[in-house]
Structure formats: structure tokens, C-alpha cells
Amino acid sequence: MANRNFQQFSLSLIKEKVSILGVISLSDVGAVVSFKIPGVVSVAKTDVGAYLVKLKDSYPHFFCGAVETAETVQDLDGRLGAVDNLLKTVIINTKTAGVNADATATCKIYLRLEYANTSVPV
């Protein structure tokens, strides 16, 4: 459970919902140039089209996530891969025609993760 001062009043039926939103900038060879995601320690490329996002805190429940790519000339899809609550990690994959692929032009990945900060059932 994260020990942080979260902003309140997002009007959700999920108890203690935590939304993590941000952007990752990639170079024209798929390297991570920068990221702006509050609650994230690091973003690192681990393989072709695979990126490991390390969270500052662990959360008891992962609900959903979304990945979108923008500002790219190639047909690059962002997809959420494995989520590990204990290791505080999320894998993001970028794909072209269903196969992991690196960006061939500078682009941005927009990330949204939804967690519950409590073990109380929803």
C-alpha cells in the first residue's frame, strides 16, 4: 500500500482508486529519451519494442491500463504487457503488424494505469 498524500475526489466507485498518468518520449531508434509520470521511478528499454516501467509504490489491486502512441510516422501500436504488483513493474510493448518493433521516428507513449490502494474488496 502506497504511503503518499493522494489528491481526492475523483468520484469513483472503486475504493481508494489511484490513477497514474504520464508520457514517455522515444527516440528514432526506440530508446527512452525522457518520461514524465508521477509515481514512476524509471522507464527502461529491455528488448525490441519492450519497456519496463518501475513504480515507486506497490498497490494491492491492478484494475486496468491503457497505452497510446502518438506523433509517429510508422504504424506503431502501444500495448500493456505484464503487470507485477509485488515487483512494482509494468511492461509496455510497441508493435507493428502485431510484432514487437522499435520506433523508427521520434514519438510519445501515453500511459494510464488504474490501481486500488487498499485490499478492501470493491
Which one-letter DSSP state was computed for residue 92? E
Domain tally, the chain: 1
Range of the domain at 110: 17-116
Q: Is the separation of the CB atoms in 89 and 52 below 8 Å?
A: yes
Q: What value does the CA radius of gyration of the chain take, rounded to a whole number of Å?
A: 15
Residue 6 maps to a domain: no
- Asked if residue 99 belongs to a domain, the reply is yes
Note whether residue 5 is domain-resident.
no
What share of the chain has pLDDT > 70, as a percent? 87
Q: Which amino acid is at 99?
A: V
Q: Does residue 50 lie in a domain region?
A: yes
Alpha carbon distance 49, 21 (integer Å): 20
Question: What is the end-to-end Cα distance of the chain in Å, rounded?
Answer: 15
Whether 45 maps to a domain, the answer reads yes
d(CA 88, CA 77): 24
> If you write DSSP's letter for every residue of 14-35 in order, what string do you get?
STTEEEEEEEEEE-TTS-EEEE
* Residue 80, pLDDT score: 94
Residue 11 lies in a domain: no
Per-residue pLDDT tens over the stretch 95-111: 988 899 999 889 999 99
Report the predicted TM-score, pTM, of the whole model to 2 decimal places: 0.86
